[in-house]
A and B are shown apart, each in its own frame.
Chain A
Amino acid sequence: APEYTFKLHHMLPPMSMAHSQFLVPWAEKVEAESNGRIKIDVYPSMQLGGKPPQLFDQTRKGIVDLSWTVAGYTPGRFPKMTAFELPFVPGSAKATSMALQEYAEAEMQDEMKDVHVIALHTHAPGSFHSRNKVIKKLEDLKGMKVRAPNKIMSGGFSNVGANTVFLPVPQMPSALSKGVIDVAVLPFEVVLPLKIHELVKHHTQFKGAGLYTNTFIFSMNNKSYNSLPADLKKVIDDNSSIPLAGHIGEKFDSYEGYARKFAVDRGNSFDYIEGAEHARWVKAMAPVTKKWVEDMNDDGYDGQRLLDKTRALIKKYENR
C-alpha cells in the first residue's frame, strides 16, 4: 500500500490533452519512481468542488495536495508573472515555459511562497479564428466583434478599433455559431476541444513573436511536500522545475500542431502575419505594454527590468 496518497485537482475534462498527456503521466511517473510509496489520485473537471480560480488556494490551504490552474484566473495575485501575458512576448510554449520557470525561481519567490511550485508554464501562442472575414492586416480587425482571452489583450484589440465582447469560454461556441462574436482569440489546443474550427472558416497566425499566451501554475501544498522524507522529496524534485516546464511546453507545442491539422483538414483558410505587417501589429499593441510597465512601476516594481528579463530569457531558451 502507498505511504502517501495525494490528490491532484484540476479543471479540465479527462479527455483533455492536459489530463491525459501530462498530468496523469506525471502522476504515474512519480508513483513509479517512488516504487509505489507515493500514490497520486488525479481529479479532473473540478470534481472536488470550487471554481477554477480557487484551485491555487485549494492547494495553498491543503484542501488538495496538488493542483494545476491558469494564473490569470486570479488577477492581481501574481503581478510579476503577467510580463509573460503581454502581447508579442511569447515564443514557443517550450521556450516560454522554461523561461517562465527560471524567471519565477529568480523573481517570484515572494508570490509563490505559499505553495511548493512543481512547474510554471505557458501554452503555445494564440491566434485569430474568424467566422466570415479573413484577417490579413491590422485594419481588418476594425469593427469586428472579438472575444479577447484576457484583460490585457482586450485593451490591445480596443486600440485597433475592434469591439471586444466578453463571454466565458464555454459560451464561446454558441456565441460564435450565432454570430454574437466574429472572432475568437485562442490557441488551437483550445480550438479543437471546443470545435471552434467547425464554426469558423479562417485562421490567422503570427510568425515571429506570438500574439499572446496564458500562464499556468502546477503547485503542491507546502505541508504535503514537507511531510515527505528526503528520498521521496527527491522524487518530486526530479519531476519539477525547468525540465518539467520544458516538457509540458513541448507537449503544448506538439499538440498545437496536432489540433491545427483538424482545421487544415476541414479546408479552412490560413493566413500569416509576418515581416512588416507583424511590426505594425507590435507597434499598435505597444501602448498596452507601456501601460503595463507604468502600472508595475506604480506598484513598486521595476517594470522595464522585468519585461527585459522576460524577453531575454525566452530568447535564451528559444535559441537552444
Chain B
Amino acid sequence: MSNIELAFFMMAVLLILMSIRIPIALAMLVCGGIGYSLIGGIPALLEYLGTAPVSKFSSYDLSVVPLFLLMGELATRSGITAELFKTCNTWIGRQRGGIAMAAIAGCAAFGAICGSSLATASTMGKVALPEMKRLKYSGALAAGSLAAGGTLGILIPPSMVLIIFAVLTEQNISKMFIAAFVPGFLAAGGYILAIAIYVRIYPESGPRGEKTTLAQKIKSTKDVWHITGIFLVVLGGIYMGIFTPTEAASVGVILTAILAFTHGKMRLDGLLVCLMRTAVSAAMIFFIVLGADLFSVFIALSRLPDLGVELIQNSGLSAYTILVLMLLTYLVMGCFLDSLAMILLTIPIYFPIVIAMDFGIPPVDLGIWFGILALIVVEVGLITPPVGMNVFIIKSFDDSLKLKECFKGVIPFLISDFVRVALLILFPGITLGLVHLIS
C-alpha cells in the first residue's frame, strides 16, 4: 500500500471507529498513530506521544478556550445571562422564533469578544438552550440555531482561525479582521432570516411568547446594564489598545466573576460547579485538539496534500472551478478534522495555488478574500454531520436531544451558509469593500 492509499484507508477506518461510538479524539489518536507508525516508524511515534500533549496543551492562543468557557459558566450560573435573555424575550419573544433570533444576535455579540467557535457555542448554548426548551421551542430549531450561531465566534473578529491563517499566509491580521466584519454580520443576518423562514414553515417549532408592555420592556432593559457594561469594557479595551483580544478572555472572566459574586447569586459551591463543568468541556476540546494533531501529522507525512496539488495543477480546470473544489474539500475534511487542523494542513498547500490563479483581483486582496472564504467553509464543517463539533457541544447540554434531530435543525443554516459563500465568491467586493474603505 502506498502512503497515499494508506491515508485514504485510515480515513475510512477513522470514520468506522467514530461511527461505532469510539470517542472522536480516541479514534483520531488510534488512526493517526497507526498511520504515523507505518510511515514514520514506531520509535518516532513513541517520541511524538511523549512530547505532543505538553506542547499541544501549552498554547497561549488556546488559553481563551477554558477562559471563555468559564466566563459562560459564571454568567449562566449566577443568572446574569438569563436576565439578558429575559430582556431579549420581552422585546422580540412575541415574534415567532424570536428567542432563536435573539440567540443568534447574542452569539454575534459574544463573537465580537471571543475568538473561538466552540467557546461561543458552549457559552450561548448553556444560556439559551434551557430558555428555548422552557418556551417549547423544538429541539431541532434550538440546537440548530445555537450550533450555527456558535460559528459566529470565528466568523466575527477576533478569530483564532483567522489569526492562524494570517500567520501562515503572511497577511495583515488587522486587515483580515476588517474583511471578516461584513461577511460575519451577513452570516448573522442570514441565520436570522433562516429562522424566520423556518418558523413560517414549521410554526410549532418556535412558538410565540407572551405579550409585553413597553414599560416592561424598558424595565427589563435596565436589568442588564451590568452585563452590557462588561461587554463594553471588553470591547472598548480591545479597540482602545489596553489589551489584546487574547487577554480579553482573562478580563472577561475576572469581571464576570466579580459581577457574579456581587450582583448575581453566585456562592462558593456555585463556583465549584462552574469550575467542574468548565473542566469537563475544556478537557473534551483539548483531547480532540490532541487527536486531530496526530491525525493531521500523519496526513502531512503521507504527502496526500501534495498529490492533491499535482492533480489540480494538471487538471486544466478554470480558476473558479478549482476554488470551489478546494472549498468542497474542506467540507469533506470537516468530517475528520477540526477547524484549526484543517487550516494548518491545507493552507500552506492551497494558498500558493490560489495566489497563482487569475481571478481579476490583485494578489494582496486575493489573499484576504480567499482567507475569508476558507474561514467560512471551515466553520461550516463545525455544523455538518457526522462530526460537527458545535452540534456535539449543544447536544451535550441536553440529554434529551438526539443527534439526528440536531443535524436536521442545522439544515436551514447550512443553506444560508451556502448562499452566502456563493455571494462572496461572485462579489468579492462584499469582503474587500470595507478593507479598501478603511485603509
Is chain B a partner of chain A in the same complex? yes
Residues of A within 8 A of B (CB): 13-16, 41, 43-45, 47-51, 54, 57-58, 61-63, 167-168, 170-171, 173-175, 177-180, 192-195, 198-199
12 CB < 8 A contacts A-B: A16-B170, A45-B348, A47-B300, A47-B348, A49-B55, A50-B55, A63-B44, A170-B61, A174-B158, A174-B245, A177-B173, A194-B170
Contact B293 A49 (CB under 8 A): yes
Q: Which residues of B contact A14 (CB under 8 A)?
A: 348-349, 351-352
Q: Are A51 and B55 in contact (CB under 8 A)?
A: yes
Q: Flag if A173 contacts B173 (CB, 8 Å).
A: yes
> Which residues on the B side are within 8 Å of A168 (C-beta)?
60
B122 to chain A, nearest CB (A): 24
CB-CB contacts below 8 Å: B346-397 with A: 348-349, 351-352
Q: Contacts A44-B348, A180-B244 hold; do A174 and B173 have CB atoms under 8 A apart?
A: yes
Binding site for A on B (CB under 8 A): 40, 43-44, 47-48, 51-52, 55, 58, 60-61, 158, 163, 166-175, 238-246, 293-294, 296-297, 300-301, 303, 344-345, 348-349, 351-352, 439
Nearest Cβ distance between residue B308 and chain A, in whole angstroms?
14
- How distant is the Cα of A199 from the Cα of B166 in the complex, in angstroms? 15
Residues of A within 8 A of B170 (CB): 13, 15-16, 192-195
List, in ascending order, chain A residues with CB within 8 A of B51's CB.
Answer: 50, 54, 57
Distance, CA A167 to CA B173, complexed state (A): 16
Given contacts A63-B48, A178-B244, A179-B241, contact A49 B294 (CB under 8 A): yes
B239 touching A13 by the CB < 8 A rule? no
Contacts of B163 in A (CB 8 A): 170, 174
- Which residues of B have CB within 8 Å of A180? 241-244
* Most chain A C-beta atoms within 10 Å of own C-beta, residue among B51, B52, B163: B51
Q: Which residues of B contact A194 (CB under 8 A)?
A: 170
B174 and A177 contact, CB distance less than 8 A = yes
In the complex, what's the smallest C-beta–C-beta distance from A314 to chain B, in angstroms? 30
CB distance from B157 to the nearest CB of A (A): 10
Q: Which residues of B contact A61 (CB under 8 A)?
A: 47
Contact between chains at B55 and A178 (CB < 8 Å): no
Cβ contact of B300, chosen from A16, A48, A178, A198, cutoff 8 A: A48
Known: A50-B51, A63-B47, A178-B238. A45 touches B173 (CB 8 A): no
The residue on B at minimum CB distance from A145 is: B241
Closest approach, in angstroms, between the C-beta of A5 and any C-beta of chain B? 11
Whether A13 pairs with B348 at a CB distance below 8 angstroms is yes
Taking the closest CB of chain A, its distance from the CB of B37, in whole angstroms, is 12
Of B40, B172, B244, B293, the residue contacting A63 (CB under 8 A) is B40
**Distance, CA A35 to CA B374, complexed state (A):** 40
CB <8 Å contact, A62 and B44: yes
Considering the chains assembled together, what is the distance between the CA atoms of A15 and B348 in angstroms?
Answer: 8
Known: A47-B345, A50-B55. A173 touches B47 (CB 8 A): no
Known: A51-B55, A192-B170. 12 other contacts (CB 8 A): A15-B351, A47-B344, A49-B55, A54-B55, A168-B60, A170-B167, A173-B172, A174-B244, A177-B174, A178-B241, A180-B241, A180-B242
